[in-house]
Amino acid sequence: KAGVTQTPRYLIKTRGQQVTLSCSPISGHRSVSWYQQTPGQGLQFLFEYFSETQRNKGNFPGRFSGRQFSNSRSEMNVSTLELGDSALYLCASSPGSGARYNEQFFGPGTRLTVL
């Protein structure tokens, strides 16, 4: 099986712009979660989508949003970028149901730099 793919791998944006990141989960997986990784705050949960519905949400401002499509692919959007949004954004795929429903497999991440 192919792993989790994320595009683009690297992005440079300026303050005030918006950005959209994409994630394709492992085939057959219906849950996609997004995390932010920074040296200062570590790995923090953003949100989870399961069958096109947001199932969990972390403590991030409304500038961070996401969605999931019928083929389980997911996108996250950050509007009005701030310098502090510079981070590695990781997508994790899991079956979402069944015995191993919450085993999460991460993609390589998208490195976002905000100037």
Partner 1 sequence: QQQVKQSPQSLIVQKGGISIINCAYENTAFDYFPWYQQFPGKGPALLIAIRPDVSEKKEGRFTISFNKSAKQFSLHIMDSQPGDSATYFCAAGGAAGNKLTFGGGTRVLVKP
Binding site for partner 1 (CB under 8 A): 4, 31, 33, 35, 42-45, 48, 50, 55-56, 58, 90, 92, 94, 96, 101-109
Radius of gyration of the chain (CA): 13
Please state, in angstroms and rounded to a whole number, the distance separating the CA atoms of residues 95 and 101. Answer: 5
Cβ atoms of 83 and 114 within 8 Å: the answer is yes
Residue 44 or 86: the one with the smaller Cβ distance to partner 1 is: 44
CB of 94 to partner 1, least distance (A): 5
CB of 66 to partner 1, least distance (A): 13
> Which two structure tokens, joined as six digits, stand for 13?
């944006």
CB of 15 to partner 1, least distance (A): 26
CA triple 27-31-33, angle to 5 deg? 115
Residue 17 or 60: the one with the smaller Cβ distance to partner 1 is: 60
